Homo-oligomer: A and B are copies of this chain.
Amino acid sequence: MEHQLSLFYGLSFLTAILAFAFAAYLYLWVKKQPAKNAKIIEVSKLIKEGANTFMRREYKILAIFALVAAVIIFILLPEPVWSGDPLDNLAMAIAYLAGTALSAIAGKIGIMVATLSNSRAAEGAQKGIKPAFLIGFRGGAVMGLLVVGCSLFGVAAVLMIVGDASILLGFSFGASSLALFAKAGGGIFTKTADVSADLTGKVELGIAEDDPRNPAVIADNVGDNVGDVAGMGADLFDSNVAAMTSALVIAQSLSGDGMANVSMIFCYAILGLLSSIIGIATARVGENGNPTRALNSSTYVTTAVFLVLTAGATALFEGFSWRIWGASATGLLVGVIIGITTDYFTDDTKPIVRKVAKASGSGPAFTILSGVSYGFISALPAMAGIAVSALVAYKLCEPMGAGYAVFGISMAAVGMLSIVGMIISNDAYGPIVDNARGLAEMGGLGEETIQTADALDSAGNTVKAVTKGFSIGAAGLTVISLLGAFMSEVNVALEAAGKPLITGFDIMSPTVFFGVLIGAAIPAVFSAMLILGVDKNAQRMVAEIHRQFNTIKGLKEGKPGVQPEYGKCIDIATSGALRELIPAGLMCILATIVVGFIGGPLAIGGFLLGNIVSGLLLALFMSNSGGLWDNSKKYIESGEEGGKGSEAHKAAVIGDTVGDPFKDTAGPSINTQITVVSLVASLLSTIFVAFSLFG
C-alpha cells in the first residue's frame, strides 16, 4: 500500500506538471492573438500597470504579515518550540510560507494573463463572439489550471516530505490567510472603483459605463483584475487546499487502511484536474452561439467525466470504497444543484430578477427591500442542500467504522471541489471579458463590437453567480469537516495532556453555546468592516472625481486631447484597500483566540459552528442579492420597465451599487473567513487545551 501511495504522489506531480504545460500552451495561444489597436494597447497598459502597482504594494504588506506569522508559528506550533521537536516547528513554519507563496504566485500569474487577454478579447470581439469567447475563456483557464496544479503539487509535496498531515494545516493556513487578505484587499479595491465610477458616470452625468472621460474608469478595470481574478483565485486555491487538508488529517486518524484513503484523496484530486483539463479543452461556442450555455455545458462535461473516472478508479484500485465514491458524488451533485438554484435567483430570464426590476419602478427603497428579501430566501435551498449532502455523506460512510462518517463529509467537499479548475476558468473569464468590453468602448471599436462584448460580459455575470454558489457550498462542507479535524486535533492534545477526551460539542453546554453566539456575530462584523471600507473609500474617490470634473477644463464635455488623471483614482483605491485589508482579517483571528482562551476547546467548537452557520447564511444572502440587483439593472438597461434613464433604471442602479460590495467584497470573503477561523482553531488546539479560563 505504501507503494500505491508513492504511485499517487508521482501521478500528482505528473498531473500538476501536465496542467502547467497546458496552461503554458493556452498562455502562448492567447499571446499570439492579434493586439494592434494603439488606443487599446495604451489603455490596456494603464490597466496592467495599475494592477501590478497594487499587487506589489499589497504583497509587500502581506509579506511582512506572513513573516511575522511564520515566526509566531515557529515559536508556538504544533507545540511550543521549547517543549516539542523544533524540527516540527520549522516544518510547520516553512509549510506556512510555502502556502502563502504558492497562493501569491497563482494570483500574480493570473493577473499577468488576464491583463494580456483583455485587449486581445476586445479585438477578437470585432470578429464576433466565437474568437472573443475563446480568448476570454482560455485566458481564464490559465488561471484555473495554475491554481489547481499548484494546490495539488503543494499538498502532495508537503505531505510526501513531512509525512504528517497535521503539518499541512500550516500549509493550508498559509494559503487561506493570504487569500483572506487578498480577497478583502482586492474586493475593497474593485468595488471602491466600480461604485465610484457608476455613481459619478452613469448616475450623475448619464455617460456610458466605460466612458474614457471618467477618471475612475481605469481603476474600475484594474479592480476587475485584482479583485475578481487574483482574489477569486486565491480564494479557490485556499478552499481546494483546505478541503484536501481536512480530508487528509481525518484520513490519517482513521482505523483500517488509512493509506488507501490517503491514496484515494490524491486520486480524486488528480482525476478532478484531468476532468477539468478535458472540460477546458472542449469548451467552444458557435458563430452566433450562446456563451452562457457554452460555459455551463463545459461544467457539466467536467462533472460527468469526473464521476465516470472516479467510478473507474474505485473499481480498479484495492481499498477504494464505493461508499466514499458515493459521498464524493453527492457533494459534487449538490454543488451543481446549488449552482442551478443560484441561477434561478440571479438569471434575468427567470422571474425573480424581473420582479425586482418591476419593483424598481416604485423607487429605490423597493429595489432594496425586494432584493434583500429574495436574497434571504435564496439561502434556504443552498443551506438545505449542504445539510442534506452532509447528512447523506455521513450516513453513507458511517458503517465503515469510527471516524469514517466525518471522513465522508470531507470527501463530499473534495468531490464538490474536484472540478474547481473548470470553475475558476469560468470565473476568471468574467473579469477578462468585462475588461474587454471596457477596452472596446475606450478604443472606439464601434457599437457592434461593444454589443458582442456585452453579450460575453453578461454570460460572465450569470456564470459567476453559479460558481459563487458552488464555492460557498464547498466552503460549507470543508468547514464542517474542519470541525471534525479540529476535534481530532483537540483529542490528540487532550490525550497527550492525560485529560479525558471530548466526544462532541453539546449545545446544551453553556460554554459551547457561548461560543456559538459569538461565532455567529463574527461574519456579520467582518462583512460590515469590509463594506464600510468600500463605503469610506468610495466617498473619497467620488470627491476626487468631482474635483477633476470641476477643475480639468473640457473633461466633462469630452474635448479631444483632454484626459482625466486616472492615476489619482488608482492611488485612492490602492491606499484605501491596503489600509482596510488588515483590520477585518485580524479581527476574526483575534476573536478566535480570545474565545479559545476564555472558553477552551468546547467554546471554540461552538464558535466554529456559529461562524459556519451565520457565515453561510450571510454569504449566500449577499452574493445572491448582489447578483440579483446587478442583473435587474442589466435587464432594465436592455429596454424593459422603461429602459435606460427611467426612474426604474435609476432605482436599479442604486440597488446595483449596494449589491456591488455585497457580492464582490463581503460575500465571497466570508468563505475565506470561515476557513481561516477553522484553521486557526485547529492549529491552536494544543494551546487552548493547556490554557483557558473556563475550558
Contacts and interface: CB of A to CB of B under 8 A. Distances in A.
Nearest to A659: B365
Interface stretch (A12-20, A149-157, A293-301, A608-616): A608-616
7 contacts: A368-B654, A370-B531, A370-B532, A384-B518, A386-B517, A387-B518, A520-B617
Interface in A482-507: 483-484, 487, 503-507
A44 interface: no
Given A373-B527, A376-B525, 15 more contacts: A365-B658, A366-B539, A370-B531, A374-B528, A379-B524, A383-B520, A383-B521, A395-B510, A405-B510, A480-B513, A487-B508, A507-B512, A507-B609, A520-B614, A610-B613
A199 B517 contact: no
Closest 5 CB pairs of A and B: A504-B506, A365-B657, A394-B510, A373-B528, A387-B517
Contacts of A508: 406, 483-484, 487, 504-505
Contacts of A480: 513
A409 interface: yes
Residue of A379, A506, A694 with most chain B CB atoms under a 10 A cut-off: A506
Given A391-B510, A507-B606, A195 B365 contact: yes
Given A368-B658, A374-B528, A614-B613, A362 B514 contact: no
A342 to B, nearest CB: 15
Contact of A506 (B195, B368, B505): B505
A290 to B, nearest CB: 31
- Contact residues of A: prevailing secondary structure: helix
Nearest to A655: B365
A503 to B, nearest CB: 7
A606 to B, nearest CB: 7
Interface string A387-410: 110110011000000000110010
Given A504-B507, A510-B409, A524 B364 contact: no
B377 A524 contact: yes
A391 B694 CA distance: 10
Interface string A50-67: 000000000000000000
Interface string A639-668: 000000000000000100110010000000
Contact of A383 (B518, B539, B654): B518
A652 to B, nearest CB: 11
A98 interface: no
> Which among A359, A487, A516, A521 has the greatest number of chain B C-beta atoms within 10 A?
A521
A583 to B, nearest CB: 13
Interface in A654-695: 654, 657-658, 661, 694
B365 A199 contact: yes
Interface in A169-207: 195, 199, 203
A21 interface: no
A605 B363 CA distance: 42
A609 B613 CA distance: 10
A380 interface: yes
Contacts of A512: 507
A391 B518 contact: no
A349 interface: no
A658 B528 contact: no
A507 B510 contact: no
Given A510-B394, A528-B377, A362 B520 contact: no
Contacts of A504: 506-509
A255 to B, nearest CB: 17
B391 A521 contact: no
A383 B517 CA distance: 6
A517 B615 CA distance: 11
Interface in A344-389: 359, 362-366, 368-370, 372-377, 379-380, 383-384, 386-388
Interface string A513-544: 11011101110110111011011001100100
A576 to B, nearest CB: 14
Contacts of A520: 383, 613-614, 616-617
A621 interface: yes
A511 interface: yes
Nearest to A386: B517
B203 A363 contact: yes
| A370, A375, A483: residue with the most chain B Cβ atoms closer than 10 Å | A370
Contact of A517 (B527, B542, B616): B616
B505 A535 contact: no
A531 B514 CA distance: 31
A549 B388 CA distance: 53
A503 B503 CA distance: 12
B524 A617 contact: yes
Contact of A364 (B395, B406, B542, B654): B654
B391 A514 contact: yes
A363 B655 CA distance: 12
Nearest to A204: B363
Nearest to A512: B507
A484 B487 CA distance: 25
Nearest to A527: B376
Interface in A105-155: none
Contacts of A376: 524-525, 527-528
A366 B535 contact: yes
B535 A373 contact: yes
A114 to B, nearest CB: 27
Contacts of A503: 506
A510 B390 contact: yes
B613 A531 contact: no
A630 to B, nearest CB: 13
A16 to B, nearest CB: 33
A613 B373 CA distance: 19
